[in-house]
Structure 1
Amino acid sequence: MNNKFVVWGTGYRTKKLVDIIGLDHIKVFIDNNITKQQIGYEGIKVISFEDYKREYRNYGIIVCPIYDEDEIVSQLESEEIYHYLLLSMNPSEIQGYGIKDYVQRAYEKIDRGCRNIIIGDNLFTYLLYEKAHRVLNDNQIGICSDNLQNEKQFKAISKMLGCNLIAREDIQPTDRVLLAIKDREYYTYNYENIYDMSKEIPDYYNDKILSLKDTHLGETCFVVATGPSLLTDDLLKLKANGVYSFGVNRIFNIDAEYWKPNCYVFIDKKGIEDYSNEIENYQIETKCLNADTKNIFKDDGCNYFMHVAVHDHYDLQNAFSENVESVVYGGGTVVYAAIQIAVYMGFKKIYLLGVDCNYEKNSNDNYFFKTEKPDILNHDVRRMFDNFEIAKKYADEKDIKIYNATRGGMLEVFERVDFDTLFK
């Protein structure tokens, strides 16, 4: 198997990928930045897309950028290049969240006493196949895709990598079937899910979090985000009425003398790294943070470190965690994680405040506070709404009420209520 890839991108996501697969799997990088082409990245050559077409076309591509993903895919397919893989289609761990030996953990599921079929069409599938094929022959290991829409892409990359392909109709009841892609409801094979093993990985389990479970059974809370509609007067009402509140991300920009949340939630790894000092000095009784950042902070008793699993691609329907002690699912917005934590703590009525969901790129006004630099992030509002729909479905099934008390904004998934009527 040809295990060298060309990696598109040299940003933060690429850095995390390199930490997982190592430089041995990388032939060159693609980046349109001329300066990076001149100096290279991690000691490896950086080329243009034109260079790739001329000199490296026989190598499969891993596309790392998430916000430019559609544009890159269109560019590749316009050149009839189908041997590419999207980093966003992989388990959270392959994207750099969680343990680094995830492929090894999945490999331990292989049964040498029968034929093993890996169902998948992502990088994780090929990394696992590569590892297994070192000790198993073609009669013992193969891969199969269940995604007819990507059949051309699947066959192109599999042929290039020299994989043993198994047709869906040839899978037998005696085969060991390992699902390396996000579970889909229509799937009919008797399989074992290796895409999300969060609940069975001891490294992720944090028994300290169990102390939060059902501590506010049947109560009401607010999840306060950082949208521009957020008013200090509204927060003073929450404080005056003793309402339990969750605050997220840069909510610490509000003077704690006026108001501060009971529980603070920040799950974005890079964001936590960027604002670690502010988070460290934020005096909150409960802080729920990404477990990947626990080495940054002192163990002061208020920190609850949670494994965060992210599913970045549109086609990957997210999950809603009932086992926060093992996993919290990211959903394009920290508010989705805060809702999972609130439900875990037993709240039955959850109000959202400051969840505007209307972002303007390069604006200084996307938050209740003025930013010194324009907001250059590509906020994926579509993905936020998709995951809020999942939260609503779960809440409806469990007789939990989620209301949107935000003043204006774009979020219409949850029933709206007028904040001014809540404390009369």
Structure 2
Amino acid sequence: MGTLTKQIYRYTHPRSMRHNENLWPFVKIQRDKNNAISHLNYRGENVPLVDLTSLKENFKGEVLLTATGPSIKKIDFSTVPSMPTVGVNGAWHLNSDLDFKFYIIVDMIFVDNKPDIIEEIIKKEDLVLFTTMHGIVRIIDKFTLNKVKCKLAVIEDKCYPIYEKKISNADIYNNFNTHKGIIFSKENINIAFNHDIRNGIFDAGTVIYWSLQILSYLGFKKIYVVGLDMTNFSTPRFYETKNDMLPSFLAEKLQEIIIPAFSLASLELKKDGVDVVNLSLESAIPSHIFPKMDYRDAFK
């Protein structure tokens, strides 16, 4: 976005709304009764969006969630039974083996640095791409709206709502403890899980945490996760080499944020009758949170 519009925005809006400076005044939105963004106009063009309410509990049964840890290389996907498949970030490299129905990207560093992957994802007409408003804007700027053939589902960080004030991590509990469907970690009351993604999703340093909130909302009852290693962070992701690795910021968040968040997610998903099976045997996520299983045993 232009430097002039950024300066105008900064002079006319409080610092707590700085996360919107790259959107204003080109992004215009409307919200529905559930506070979901229901209409989007970007630079005078209407951008079709998936109605999140239409997806609520619209699915059932099993789903495969593909993370990007190195353990992916050990899996023979020809032995994995057919089921709806969800990809995140560079999992698209499995496209020849898996038919992705859903995709989730919230990391703008990935969007900026992997345009070749993004271009392939947005070509798939029967795919629903969950991404943030900043993701949608970047995609349209890079490829134009005409080249977006997939369906776009806009999701928001609960603490950074579009055209509203941000909520600091230290204020999460104080701001949301009376909100229906939002549950807090007993280990850290500023880690939360939202059962209704229409009004925002809580971050915990990893797109997989976003994914669990989304898949629970969609109605799936058994989530198989591959590539959830959360260890050896200096090792390239399954599709990378040492020369083209994007940075990872997971190591410093693992113990204080990610593991408590996954623990909370596990409890909440179990209450809803949702089982999560971690198919990465070397995963740093403890088995009491998500049971680990060899994929060959899981899909016998």
With structure 2 as the length reference, what TM-score do the two structures score?
Answer: 0.67
Say whether the 8 Å CA contact 1:252–1:278 is kept in structure 2. Answer: yes
- What CA RMSD, in Å, does the superposition of the two structures yield over aligned residues? 3.5
Classify 1:422/1:25 alpha carbon distance in 2 versus 1 (closer, same or farther; 3 Å): closer
Provide the rounded CA distance (Å) in 1 between the counterparts of 2:221 and 2:21: 30
Say whether the 8 Å CA contact 1:221–1:347 is kept in structure 2. Answer: yes
Q: Deviations over 1:7-42 (max 9, x none)?
A: xxxxxxxx9xx879726999xxxxxxxxxxxxxxxx
Aligned length: 242
> Are residue 370 (structure 1) and residue 212 (structure 2) matched?
no
Please point out which of 263, 266, 284 is paired with 1:410.
Answer: 284
Q: How many Å apart are 1:250 and its aligned residue?
A: 1.0
Classify 1:211/1:276 alpha carbon distance in 2 versus 1 (closer, same or farther; 3 Å): farther
Q: Which has the larger radius of gyration?
A: 1
Q: Deviations over 1:284-310 (max 9, x none)?
A: 422111122223232534222222335
> Are residue 271 (structure 1) and residue 271 (structure 2) matched?
no
Q: Deviations over 1:385-423 (max 9, x none)?
A: 121112112112222211212131211121222221122
Which residue is 2:59 aligned to?
216
Q: Deviations over 1:358-410 (max 9, x none)?
A: 143xx3x2311233245543322122112111211211222221121213121
Say whether the 8 Å CA contact 1:273–1:293 is kept in structure 2. Answer: no
Classify 1:395/1:290 alpha carbon distance in 2 versus 1 (closer, same or farther; 3 Å): same
Classify 1:198/1:292 alpha carbon distance in 2 versus 1 (closer, same or farther; 3 Å): farther
Which residue is 2:263 aligned to?
389
1:282-297 equivalence runs, <5 A: 282=121, 283-284=123-124, 285-295=127-137, 296-297=139-140
Structure 1 unmatched runs, 5+: 1-14, 27-86, 102-196
Provide the rounded CA distance (Å) in 2 between the counterparts of 1:24 and 1:352: 45
Structure 2 unmatched runs, 5+: 26-30, 40-48, 160-166, 171-187
Provide the rounded CA distance (Å) in 1 between the counterparts of 2:85 and 2:36: 30
Classify 1:278/1:418 alpha carbon distance in 2 versus 1 (closer, same or farther; 3 Å): closer
Which residue is 2:84 aligned to?
244
Q: Deviations over 1:94-120 (max 9, x none)?
A: 55599879xxxxxxxxxxxxxxxxxxx
Classify 1:367/1:202 alpha carbon distance in 2 versus 1 (closer, same or farther; 3 Å): closer
The residue identity in structure 1 corresponding to 2:230 is: C
With structure 1 as the length reference, what TM-score do the two structures score?
Answer: 0.49
Which residue is 1:234 aligned to?
76
Provide the rounded CA distance (Å) in 2 between the counterparts of 1:399 and 1:287: 26
Say whether the 8 Å CA contact 2:75–2:295 is kept in structure 1. Answer: no
Say whether the 8 Å CA contact 1:292–1:307 is kept in structure 2. Answer: no
Which residue is 1:182 aligned to?
none
The residue identity in structure 1 corresponding to 2:156 is: H
Say whether the 8 Å CA contact 1:318–1:331 is kept in structure 2. Answer: yes
Say whether the 8 Å CA contact 1:309–1:328 is kept in structure 2. Answer: yes
Which has the bigger relative contact order, CA under 8 A and spacing at least 6?
Answer: 2
